[in-house]
Every structure is written in structure tokens, then in C-alpha cells.
Structure 1
Amino acid sequence: MKLRLFPQETAGLQALARMSDHILAGTQTLAELLGAGRTGFTPLTQSLRKQEAESTADFATLLTNMRTSFINPLPREDLYTLGQLLNETSEILTGAGELIELYVLDRTPTRISDQLEILARQAELTASAMKSLNDLDGLEDYWLEVLRLAKRAQHTHRVVVAELLESHSATTFTKYRSLSDQFAAASRQMRTVATQVGSIIVKES
């Protein structure tokens, strides 16, 4: 870690931490959605939209802080990239919830639940990491573990698609495939966040 001689603004890091918390909360809401009946879909989807809106507000706070702070804890381009990736992840999670509601997916295959479980673990690790960006030396294990989970998520996604294709009609396949694709996209996004953190670790060493 580079020696820093001047105090820095931490509001940007706090905004990133809040954004990662929204993602973790989003995975928890999606878990509730997968177990909810049809009457429970609408309020839970609204909760996802609220979490996404809060993430976007935190992203705006981050951008304002970057413009007005003389000394940032990390390079501005890295802060911006992390914020953008986290905010986009919240959008993907909202999209997944809307698919569950619109397609009335009240009997989700177990494998898709497995995808969400992996994603939730990535979100948990990411939330912890975003709170530790002022101490990069301890984040290498996070980086590697999220990459490992991303590979597992990719494999699970391939299995989901194969099993859906074998067991469902074309219409049902398309519906569940869309949800599975959303979870896979969110997992890849978490991997990109971890890769960005890895890049920061290398640059700041």
C-alpha cells in the first residue's frame, strides 16, 4: 500500500459501501420472490425498484463527491468504474424480479435457486470488500474467491439451460432461461467488480 501523507475524503467509499449493501439486500429480496406466491410478487418487486433507486442516488452522491473533493482515497476513474458496475448490478437484479412477476414464475427450478445462492455469496463478499477499500492489502482473498464463485456460477448456468431445454416446452424454457440469464449476468458483474478491485490492488501496491 502506498504511503498517504494527506487526509482524504471518505464519502465516496461510503457511497460504494451503501451501493454494495443495496445489491446484497436485492439478492435477499429475490430469494423471497422465489419462495413467494403470486400475491407476494408485486410488493417484493417494488422493493427491488426502491433498492435500485437508492443505489442510483448513492451513485450520484459518489459522482458529486469525486468532482468536489481535492483528494480522493482512490483514483477517480476507479471510483467511477466501481460505482457504475455496482449500480448496473442493482438494475440487473430489478430486471430479474420483474421477470418473476411478469412471467408469474412461481415454481422456479432448484438449479436457478442455486444460481441465486452463488450470487448472494458474491454479493456478501462484495459488500464486505467495499467497506474495506481503505485497506487494500486485505482484499486479495476477496478478489480470488469471487472469481472462483463466478466460474461455479457459469457452470451452473450451463446446467440450468441444458436441463430446461430437456424438461420444458419452448415457452416455459424461454421464460426460465430469461431469469437464469439475469442471474448469470449479475454474477458476471460481481466478477467484474472483483477484477476491478484486483486491478486497484496491483496499481496501489
Structure 2
Amino acid sequence: MKLRLFPQEKTGLRILAGMAQEIVSSVQTLSELLGAPATDFEPLTEQMRKHEAASSELLVSLLTHMRTSFINPLPREDLFALARFLNEANEKLTGAAELISLNKLERIPARASDQLEVIARQAELTADAMRRMDNLEELEDYWIQVLRLARRAEHTHRVFVSELLRDYKTAAYVRYRDVAEQLVNVTKDMRQVATAVGSIIVKES
């Protein structure tokens, strides 16, 4: 039997899909920033802020919709949890961009790109999953894949920080470590989204 959410009102799901897509866009912009000269940092960081603002506007729209709609596609607490984790992931991506821009970090270690590659894959999987939340039977593999990627990200983070400690003096180490922390925390937020989806699958089965 296919798992389906009993209400057919899908506005909330469309908003979640939009928030997930903003993360995909933020990752693309941050990827550009990692390879850009310092003169391009501020305009790219401003673009990141626009993605974050768009995500926040969608979050507000979702909250308004939940308050005014009699039927929601998921329990309100599940909708809110998914939206909160998506929004927080976008905020942390912007935080990474601002740290790079403020500190003029032109030579970002390659491990940052490795982390961003993981985030990009998590974001793509999540954007696709949010578009398919009305058919939960198809999402178990999504849940598992994102959790695997999160474990990979945790390992990469440990290696990243170890290499920074070995290769950089204290001031530079702290600046790069702060970026590394922002990135690994994005992967944790994406894992929280996947875990929330897993919880919904269990409840709806």
C-alpha cells in the first residue's frame, strides 16, 4: 500500500520545496564565492543574503498558511520542524559566506570544497524529496542517503580541522575553523530534515 498523507492540500509542501530550492541556490552561489577573488566576495555574499531572505519569507508564508488553513498536508509540528531546519541551513550557508568575505579568505583549503560538495548533494536530494512529500513510500532511500552523507561530512570535518591545526598559525586557524564549523553545521541541519522525514514515514506507515 502506498503511503499518502490524508489531506490533499499541498500549499505547505510547495512552500517547503521552495525553501529547499533556495538551499540549492545558496550552495551554487557559495561555490562561486570559494573560487572568486576578494573583489567579488561582497556581491556574492549579498546574493547569499537574498537567498536567505527568500527562505525566511517562505518560512513566514508557511507559518501564516498553517494558522489560517483548516487542513494542512502534515501535522503542524512536522511542517514547522522541516521549515525551521531548512531555514537554519540557509542561514548557516550565508554565515560561511560572510566569514569568508569579512576575513578576505581568498585561499580556502580544498576541504571546504569537499564539504560543499556533500552539502550540494544533500540539498539536491532534499529539494527532490520536498517535491515528493505526498508519496512517502518513495522517500525512505532519501532518508538513508542523507544520513550517509552526514556521516561523511562529519569525517571530512574532523580531517579538515586537523589539517588546519597542523598547517596554519593560530589566527588563520581560527578564521578557517569558523568557516569549517559553519559548513558542518549545515550538513547537520540537512540531516535533521532527513530525520524528520524518517519520523513522518514511520508515523504515517
TM-score (norm 1): 0.97
User: The residue matched to 2:178 in structure 1 has which SS?
Assistant: helix
Rounded to whole Å, the distance in 2 between the matches of 1:196 and 1:11 is: 19
Instruction: Tell me the residue number matched to 1:26.
Output: 26
1:46-195 matches, within 5 Å, as 46-195=46-195
Closer, same or farther: CA 2–19 of 1 in aligned 2, 3 Å: closer
Contact 1:9 1:69 in 2 (8 A): no
Determine what percentage of the aligned residue pairs are the same residue: 57
Instruction: Tell me the residue number matched to 1:199.
Output: 199
User: Which letter maps to 1:110?
Assistant: A
Contact 1:89 1:186 in 2 (8 A): yes
What is the CA-CA distance between 1:8 and the residue it aligns to? 2.9
User: Which letter maps to 1:114?
Assistant: D
What is the CA-CA distance between 1:64 and the residue it aligns to? 1.0
Rounded to whole Å, the distance in 1 between the matches of 2:81 and 2:118 is: 23
What is the CA-CA distance between 1:10 and the residue it aligns to? 1.2
Rounded to whole Å, the distance in 2 between the matches of 1:143 and 1:70 is: 29
Contact 2:33 2:44 in 1 (8 A): yes
Rounded to whole Å, the distance in 1 between the matches of 2:121 and 2:8 is: 31
Rounded to whole Å, the distance in 2 between the matches of 1:170 and 1:113 is: 22
| Residue deviations 1:63-114 (CA, integer Å, cap 9, x gap) | 1111111111111110011011111111111101000101111101111110
Give 4+ residue runs of structure 1 displaced > 6 Å after superposition: none
Which runs of 5 or more residues in structure 2 are unaligned? none
Closer, same or farther: CA 148–126 of 1 in aligned 2, 3 Å: same
User: Which letter maps to 2:97?
Assistant: G
Which runs of 5 or more residues in structure 1 are unaligned? none
Rounded to whole Å, the distance in 2 between the matches of 1:87 and 1:164 is: 29
Rounded to whole Å, the distance in 2 between the matches of 1:140 and 1:76 is: 21
| Residue deviations 1:18-53 (CA, integer Å, cap 9, x gap) | 000001111111100000001110111000100111
Most deviating of 160-169 and 67-76: 67-76
Instruction: Tell me the residue number matched to 2:35.
Output: 35
| Residue deviations 1:96-146 (CA, integer Å, cap 9, x gap) | 100010111110111111011111111111111111111111000000000
